[in-house]
Chains A and B, each alone.
Chain A
Amino acid sequence: MSGICSSLETTEKLLCYHCGDPCRDIPIHVYDKDFCCEGCKLVYEILKENNLSNYYSLNANPGDKSIKTRNAARYEFLDDEQVLQKLVSFTDGTETHITFLIPQIHCSSCIWLLEHLYKLDMGVKRSTVNFLKREASIVFNEKETSLRKVAELLNRIGYPPHISLSNLEKKKAPATNMQTYYKLGVAFFCFGNIMLLSFPEYFGLSSVFEGRFVKTFGYLNILLSLPVLLYADIDFFRSAWNGLKQGRLNMDFPISLGITVMYSRSLYEILSGTGAGYMDTFAGLIFFMLTGRMFQNKTYERLSFERDYKSYFPVAVSVLKNGKEESKAVSDLHHGDRILVRNGELIPADCILLKGDAAIDYSFVTGENIPVPKQSGDRIYAGGRQAGSAIELEVVSEVSQSRLTQLWNEHGDSEHKENELTSIVDKVSYVFTLVVIAIAAAAGGWWIWKGEVHTALNAFTAVLIITCPCALALSYPFTLGNSIRILGNQNIYLKNTRVIEKMASIDTIVFDKTGTLTKAGDAEYTWHGSPLNTTEILAVASLASSSQHPLSRVIAGIAEESTRPEVSNFEEIPGKGMSGIVIGMMIKAGSTTFAGNGNSTGNSRRSEVHVTINSTYKGFYEIRGVYREGLKTVTNALSENYNLHLLSGDNDAEKESLAEFFPDSDKLHFGQSPANKLQFIKNLQHQGNHVLMAGDGLNDAGALFQSNVGLAVSDDTNNFSPACDAILDAKSFHLLPMFLKFSKYSMNIIYVSYLISLLYNCIGIWFAVQGLISPLFAAIIMPLSTISMVLFTTTATNLIGKLVFRDVPGQAQIKADKSHQLS
């Protein structure tokens, strides 16, 4: 006992050797090292035995902090042949290839360890990590090991693979990315060669050259431009056509018009021998625009913004058949199947309880995380999580028919969200197209009136060619693409470039409380009353560990699982408290009426757990959520320009402490269910507000989806966030006002760049209407405008990024930290 006492004094400094978490009050001290829990110690032992301690020398405390429940995951279903077939990417009976998503991959130690899997399992032939995608591709010999064994091994060493229902349904995302690379390569190849063959034209050598060269070069140019016309630029035409079908003139329409006219005129000039054409400009512009598109589409591969319930659902469940336990794919569950759900497992379909003590935690669906007890014969809806011993259920409806699935599909139409705000690009291109066509027609009409039909045609086409809005089209992707990168350096990850535009138009911000303004799972406790000794603390902690109530979990966290003594005669009265016998002491813990001395502390709203040991009242734990650092500055800064609201699923216990951040108490809303939250956002939008919702959990999923910008705040971006527009790393939460400011500046940069490109167009049109555009002129002004636009937008965004984030540890600093972590 003295050992425990001495280590109690040094709790402040001890960090777990494996995961780096601060050890709890009583750490595990073995091999001269401290561990926060059994799980961490176990991983250390496995690695030490297999001579893989290098894992710990590459990085200090490389283990993942978020994985504390290692044994919860079960992988029996991987023995199922059907499941196996759907998961593996290749198998010939002996050699099998599988790619696992492992969200815990976060440092070079992870890469090293996962690529040395063969040391832990002889059957593994090869394993390769893709760090950015958080994936490990594993090749193993099916004769020596099995998929299940590999998965269990990964789970044992703290890298549980994430296998969910969505893995089974869609095998792999189509390789659209590859297509972009191909197109870019083809465009560049053609552009370079066409330009080379156009050089005689640039230097006016065509008259010196023999005629046959001019002709040959012209034909070669046509040949080289074909791949660009038929392959590389096809997306622009497709998008313009889709826009037209919906009755919209998007930015790709004037582009398509411009390049079509440019190509036809070049073809005519070369074939008729009247000129050299604009093939070089044509190929060059396509190349530049593809680059812009690539820049815009470069997003965060490792983050997924589109998660629905399927990503959270297990792949398989245990089915009872003739008294035997079998594994069955969730998608094959039918009415009447009997399933077995263990502690911590998710209920995949609407069921009826047959046997066992069910306590269902519906936090996944409702946000309320106090488990609801159920009697046998009760209906249990999909999405609940069993807390307690294993239960037996009978399935009443298939997974796709369950109430949860329907709930999800209700607000699952993404159409409205994309159309709700017409992008600035579309607005500008609409006006632009009309004006350009008007000018072209006017110029053509003028020359016809003058009686010069040839010049009329010349001027008409020249206007369309010279105004091809490539610079215009490039400013948006380059500005916002670069902005996304700058924001990413500050730990906010956006789904796409449109989000910045939407962020700039926000006028109302709604916060969720738990997990967003407070740290998830982190609560402060203070003991009020007569001091407890170590044995008593341990006893209370182990009593609390038997309960699933959120307050109990905080108290249970005081002591490590293995140090907790046994509890007997445990009894829990919902809404009141619990009692039990620990090390011969009769302990009661709970509300003041149940376990207290009846005297209220005067503040009934506070979260308190009173403790009575052997009928002597000892005192109470006061439990408070911990607010994020800098919350006050954030709310102060934001309240100047935005309407702030707070939505919480909890009761109003923290109303007073929140008043410090939200002075206007009308805007604090407590006891909000997920449906309430969704409705609240809808109402705000009906009043004409543009709403940013900051939330964290699945209970905010509806609200995040409905809002104009759904911002998921996450303590660990490797974890799964609900479907959203942006993921904010919680450690950058205090930068939120700057992010919004920066998005506004980014939009301003776009406006300025539109003005510049308009200026270029005015110069071009001035010459074009007079019919004075030569291929050389086009070959100079078009790339010039394009490149200057790219330079302007990237420099401007970089500068503004530096200005806005100048007070934050610079990007260089963060990068240095990252590389330090990885070196």
Chain B
Amino acid sequence: MSVLFLLIGISLLVATGFLIAFIWSVKKGQYEDDYTPSVRILIDDTTPEEPKP
């Protein structure tokens, strides 16, 4: 049963990894703008020569 200690240790380590990843993402500003990227992705890169009226 003492293998449980090891497993719990590993699970805590993994969870801490996710916590750090979360803090990193907040710090990187991923939660600052949750709207513009959703619009940006829809805009085509190619520029048509003349828009249709």
Contact bitstring A174-187, B, C-beta under 8 A = 1, else 0: 00011001100110
B residues within 8 A CB of A182? 23, 26
Contact bitstring B11-53, A, C-beta under 8 A = 1, else 0: 1100110110011001100011111100110111001111110
Taking a contact as CB atoms under 8 Å apart, the answer to whether A181 and B31 are in contact is: yes
Taking a contact as CB atoms under 8 Å apart, the answer to whether B51 and A56 are in contact is: yes
Name the contact of B35 in the complex, choosing from A51, A132, A186 (C-beta under 8 A).
A132
Taking a contact as CB atoms under 8 Å apart, the answer to whether A181 and B50 are in contact is: no
A residues within 8 A CB of B26? 178, 181-182, 185
Q: Let me know if A129 is at the binding interface, CB within 8 A.
A: yes
Q: Let me know if B3 is at the binding interface, CB within 8 A.
A: no
Taking a contact as CB atoms under 8 Å apart, the answer to whether B51 and A54 are in contact is: yes
Taking a contact as CB atoms under 8 Å apart, the answer to whether A210 and B15 are in contact is: no
Taking a contact as CB atoms under 8 Å apart, the answer to whether B43 and A111 are in contact is: yes
A residues within 8 A CB of B31? 177, 181
Taking a contact as CB atoms under 8 Å apart, the answer to whether B47 and A52 are in contact is: yes
B residues within 8 A CB of A115? 40
Q: How many A-B residue pairs have CB under 8 A?
A: 71
Q: Let me know if B1 is at the binding interface, CB within 8 A.
A: yes
Taking a contact as CB atoms under 8 Å apart, the answer to whether A108 and B48 are in contact is: no
CB of B28 to closest CB in A, whole Å? 11
A residues within 8 A CB of B22? 185
Name the contact of B36 in the complex, choosing from A132, A186, A193 (C-beta under 8 A).
A132
By beta carbon, the residue of chain B nearest A196 is B11
A319–B20 Cα gap in the complex (Å)? 53
B residues within 8 A CB of A56? 51
Q: A111-B40, A182-B26 are in contact. Are A131 and B35 (CB under 8 A)?
A: yes
A33-78: which residues lie under 8 A (CB-CB) from chain B? 51-54, 56-58
By beta carbon, the residue of chain B nearest A57 is B51
By beta carbon, the residue of chain B nearest A223 is B12
Taking a contact as CB atoms under 8 Å apart, the answer to whether B33 and A131 are in contact is: yes
Q: Let me know if A720 is at the binding interface, CB within 8 A.
A: no
Taking a contact as CB atoms under 8 Å apart, the answer to whether A58 and B43 are in contact is: yes
Q: A132-B35, A185-B23 are in contact. Are A112 and B43 (CB under 8 A)?
A: yes
A430–B19 Cα gap in the complex (Å)? 37
Q: Let me know if B8 is at the binding interface, CB within 8 A.
A: yes
Q: Let me know if B6 is at the binding interface, CB within 8 A.
A: no
Q: Tell me which of A52, A131, A186 has the highest count of chain B C-beta atoms within 10 A of its own C-beta.
A: A131
CB of A276 to closest CB in B, whole Å? 16
Range, interface on chain B:
20 to 34
By beta carbon, the residue of chain B nearest A48 is B50
Q: A131-B35, A178-B26 are in contact. Are A189 and B19 (CB under 8 A)?
A: yes
Taking a contact as CB atoms under 8 Å apart, the answer to whether A822 and B39 are in contact is: yes
A607–B23 Cα gap in the complex (Å)? 63
B residues within 8 A CB of A788? none
A56–B48 Cα gap in the complex (Å)? 10
By beta carbon, the residue of chain A nearest B34 is A132
B residues within 8 A CB of A128? 36
A residues within 8 A CB of B4? 213
CB of B5 to closest CB in A, whole Å? 7
CB of A778 to closest CB in B, whole Å? 23
Taking a contact as CB atoms under 8 Å apart, the answer to whether A220 and B8 are in contact is: yes
A residues within 8 A CB of B27? 178
A108–B16 Cα gap in the complex (Å)? 39
Taking a contact as CB atoms under 8 Å apart, the answer to whether B32 and A130 are in contact is: yes
Contact bitstring A181-202, B, C-beta under 8 A = 1, else 0: 1100110010011001100000
Taking a contact as CB atoms under 8 Å apart, the answer to whether A185 and B19 are in contact is: yes
Q: Let me know if A823 is at the binding interface, CB within 8 A.
A: yes
By beta carbon, the residue of chain B nearest A217 is B8
A112–B46 Cα gap in the complex (Å)? 12
CB of B25 to closest CB in A, whole Å? 9
Taking a contact as CB atoms under 8 Å apart, the answer to whether B47 and A53 are in contact is: yes
Q: A57-B51, A193-B15 are in contact. Are A111 and B39 (CB under 8 A)?
A: yes
Q: Tell me which of B8, B33, B36, B42 has the highest count of chain A C-beta atoms within 10 A of its own C-beta.
A: B36
A178–B34 Cα gap in the complex (Å)? 14
Contact bitstring A114-146, B, C-beta under 8 A = 1, else 0: 010000000000001111110000000000000
Q: Let me know if A216 is at the binding interface, CB within 8 A.
A: yes
Taking a contact as CB atoms under 8 Å apart, the answer to whether B39 and A108 are in contact is: yes
Q: Tell me which of A129, A133, A189, A216 has the highest count of chain B C-beta atoms within 10 A of its own C-beta.
A: A189
A613–B24 Cα gap in the complex (Å)? 74
A residues within 8 A CB of B36? 111, 128-132
B residues within 8 A CB of A51? 47, 49
CB of B47 to closest CB in A, whole Å? 5
A residues within 8 A CB of B35? 131-132
A129–B38 Cα gap in the complex (Å)? 12
Contact bitstring A344-357, B, C-beta under 8 A = 1, else 0: 00000000000000
Taking a contact as CB atoms under 8 Å apart, the answer to whether B15 and A823 are in contact is: no
CB of B33 to closest CB in A, whole Å? 5
Taking a contact as CB atoms under 8 Å apart, the answer to whether B33 and A133 are in contact is: yes
Taking a contact as CB atoms under 8 Å apart, the answer to whether B48 and A57 are in contact is: yes
Name the contact of B52 in the complex, choosing from A57, A131, A213 (C-beta under 8 A).
A57
**A-binding residues in B (CB < 8 A):** 1, 4-5, 8, 11-12, 15-16, 18-19, 22-23, 26-27, 31-36, 39-40, 42-44, 47-52
Nearest first, the 7 closest Cβ-Cβ pairs linking A and B are A57-B51, A131-B36, A189-B19, A181-B26, A185-B22, A130-B33, A54-B47
22 A-B pairs within 8 Å (CB atoms) are namely A51-B49, A53-B47, A53-B48, A53-B49, A53-B51, A54-B47, A108-B39, A108-B42, A108-B43, A112-B43, A129-B36, A130-B32, A131-B36, A132-B35, A182-B23, A185-B19, A189-B19, A197-B8, A220-B12, A822-B39, A822-B42, A823-B42
Knowing that A52-B47, A54-B48, A57-B48 are A-B contacts, what are 20 other residue pairs whose CB atoms are under 8 Å apart, sorted by A's residue number?
A: A53-B47, A53-B48, A53-B50, A54-B44, A56-B51, A111-B39, A115-B40, A129-B36, A130-B32, A131-B35, A182-B23, A185-B26, A192-B15, A193-B11, A193-B15, A196-B11, A213-B4, A220-B8, A822-B39, A822-B42
